[in-house]
Amino acid sequence: MNVEYQHIKVIGFDADDTLWVNETYFRDAELEFAKLMAPYETANKIDQELFKKEMDNLSLYGYGVKGFVLSMVESAIELSNGSVSNDTIEKILAIGKDMLNKPVELLDGVEETLKNLSLDYRLILVTKGDLLDQERKLEKSNLSSYFHHIEVLSDKKEINYSKLLNHLDINPSEFLMVGNSLKSDILPLVNLKAKAVHVPFHTTWLHEQVNDQDTKQKDYKTISSLSDLKTILN
């Protein structure tokens, strides 16, 4: 076993864009929304206003598709100065329903990796977003049997992780977190003196992006695929 990870007993996995595709659907939805709002503003302005509205609403709606749809509706009303049609609102709602009904597309090597690691470690799922939507995706993924515990957090900050580790009686020095977001899955755990492995996804939501200064001298590893996780642990 890699001496750096010899004390690890529990491995936590993010879900969206770590185990299965998620952010791609949001980018597609933003493009559809921009087309609907094209009579009122430029695509760039529409994207900016929608993101601003999402940030304004984050403390009220939280993360996930439902909050995103509400932000699209509010943005449509504001961008159109209240003249947006009922038909357009219905199309926005249809975008949201389509997102919620998307099939769960597992990323490469996910199930094999979880199956192998579950033989030697206690695995937990640590995600954030809408509870009902995350439960739906987990059920469709057929991965739930690999996890000892499943937690859907309202946010992924140090305080959220600290409470979770305390609740599950996990020592940070014995915990490894794996995820695609440096902001949500990696840096909070590094600050708690746990281990972390970054598995980048090809697209990252603006809210989850960090700069080089944020990651400077932070101790974590980056791998290109979840399949590489077993290699660095051995």
Residues 11 and 111 in one domain: yes
Residues 122 and 142 in one domain: yes
pLDDT 10s digits, 179-191: 999 999 999 999 9
Query: pTM for the complete prediction?
Result: 0.92
| Residue pointed to by tokens 């004390």 | 7
pLDDT at 127: 95
Give the closest residue to 62 by CA, choosing from 141, 169, 166, 134: 134
Phi first, then psi: what are they for 176, rounded to 5°? -125, 130
Considering 74, 100, 126, which residue would you say is the last residue of a domain?
Answer: 100
The end-to-end CA distance of the chain, in Å, is: 4
Residues 109 and 7 in one domain: yes
d(CA 105, CA 100): 13
pLDDT at 1: 61
Number of structural domains the chain divides into: 2
CATH code for the domain of 42: 1.10.150.240
pLDDT 10s digits, 110-126: 999 999 999 999 999 99
pLDDT at 26: 96
Note down the domain range covering 181.
3-20+105-233
Residues 153 and 199 in one domain: yes
